[in-house]
Amino acid sequence: MDKMKVIWTETANQDLNEIIEYIANDSVEIALKKFYTIKDSAKQLDKFPEQGRIIPELKNENIMKYREFIISSWRLMYKIEEKKIYIMAVLDGRRNIEDILMKRQLR
């Protein structure tokens, strides 16, 4: 299989920036490590795009085109379209995804 291009959406970039800023309040070093861990994990999707599971909350609603890759307590959510992988969001896995997505819809 050919490598696919990984594209970060504006929303996912914003999520990552917020995560890193929050962690940096306690430790810039840990924030940088987390940033590179998340970015490097996303890069690996170009070789194995289907390694992530279908997002359970969406699978229950018969929505199968979104996948996620778990990186410690973070859920990196993406979709595969036309030889491209779109990183859609990076969310705290300890929070309720429905609440997060509902707040985004109301913005």
Taking alpha carbons only, the member of 58, 66, 74, 70 closest to residue 23 is: 74
User: Is 30 within 8 Å of 23 (Cβ atoms)?
Assistant: yes
User: Is 9 within 8 Å of 1 (Cβ atoms)?
Assistant: no
Q: What is the CATH number of domain 5-106?
A: 3.30.2310.20
pLDDT over 90 (residue 86) = yes
Q: What is the DSSP string of 24-67?
A: HTT-HHHHHHHHHHHHHHHHHTTT-GGGSEEPHHHHTTT--SEE
Instruction: Tell me what the pLDDT averaged over the chain comes to.
Output: 88
pLDDT over 70 (residue 103) = no
pLDDT over 70 (residue 107) = no
Domain range annotation of the chain: 5-106
pTM value is: 0.85
Model confidence pLDDT, tens digit, residues 33-82 = 999 999 999 999 998 888 899 998 888 888 889 999 999 889 999 999 98
| pLDDT at position 102 | 62
Q: Which amino acid is at 22?
A: Y
